Amino acid sequence: MCQLTAVVLVHGLYHCPEHFAVVAERLRAAGVEVVLPELHRRSLLADTAAVQAAVDALECPPLVVGHSYGGSVITGVRGAGHLVYLAAFVLDVGESAAGLGGASAKLRGAIRPGPDGATSLDPDQAAGVLYGDCPEPLARWAIGLLRVQAPGCGRGTPEHHAWKHVPSTYVVCANDQAIDPGLQRMMAGRCTSVREWPTGHSPFVGRAELVVELVHELLSPGTPRMSRGVGQTPRASSAKPN
């Protein structure tokens, strides 16, 4: 029987796989197989297909971690063994990240329009919104990796809703300046278990050890996969399978 032995780390809007570099390095040093798919495929469905290909290439169902918009992506993926939503979007039928109003006023204020509807983040404002609790050298490094974002991805709706069929863990980032923690807690109620960390939007940059410890815990064969977190709101029983 296959066990969770690999992790797929899925970045969010404006980000890239390199943002998970510290987490990936520490996990690989401990013998964990790590896959870092590249998004920026110009649509949610194309981004989802890229992650699906990474999952399908693995021998056993992996642990799949999605950050922010990456949650929209992993929601549509089939074949995961466990889903982790890191300050991420857990979308239901017909929902999109943009439709849920996830971006804070600070994040919206940092967005700069570009040609053909593409956008980028103002580096000075992005520092506080995405990496305000990170040491300055790490924040500067992370800002240097940010990319131009094609239009429309945040308005995409998944064709499949994996959290209805696969064990899942939601991590609420309580000091998030990009996505309202209240919205995160609402979406967390759709997941199997919930954690809450006193971090900003990007703990994989400033608090990599938290992400690494969580991955190790969930990859452990002795970890109960279906236990609910204390105080979690159960999934709505009216949700339709998809």
Give the tens place of pLDDT for each residue, 70-104.
999 999 999 999 999 999 999 999 999 999 987 89
Task: Extract the tokens encoding 43.
Answer: 């649509």
Q: pLDDT tens for residues 37-61?
A: 999 999 999 999 999 999 999 999 9
Tallying the residues shown for the chain, one arrives at 242
- For the cut 50, the answer to whether the pLDDT of residue 106 exceeds it is yes
With a CB cutoff of 8 Å and minimum separation 6, the contacts of 149 are: 13, 14, 40, 118, 119, 120
**pLDDT confidence band for 221 (50 / 70 / 90):** low
Query: How much of the chain exceeds pLDDT 90, in percent?
Result: 87
| CB-based burial label for 182 (10 Å; 0-12, 13-18, 19+) | exposed
223, pLDDT greater than 90 = no
C-alpha 194/C-alpha 230 separation (Å) is 8
Candidates 3.40.50.12160, 3.40.50.1820, 3.90.470.20, 3.40.50.970; correct CATH number of 6-219?
A: 3.40.50.1820
Which pair of structure tokens corresponds to residue 81?
A: 């063994």
Alpha carbon 196 to chain centroid, angstroms = 14
The residue-averaged pLDDT of 224-236 equals 34
Residue 201 in this model has a pLDDT that exceeds 60? yes
pLDDT tens digit sequence for 18-42? 999 999 999 999 999 999 999 999 9
Sheet holding 6-10, edge to edge: 33-35, 6-10, 63-67, 82-86, 168-173, 193-197
> Dihedral sign, CA of 194, 198, 202, 203?
negative
Q: What is the mean pLDDT of the chain?
A: 91
Spatial contact of 236 and 188, defined as CB atoms under 8 Å apart: no
Quick one: pLDDT at residue 224? 37
DSSP per-residue letters across 126-183: HHHHHHTTS-HHHHHHHHHH---B-TTGGG---S--GGGTS-EEEEEETT-SSB-HHH
Higher-pLDDT residue of 70, 2: 70
pLDDT digits (tens, 9 = 90+) for 121-141: 999 999 999 999 999 999 999
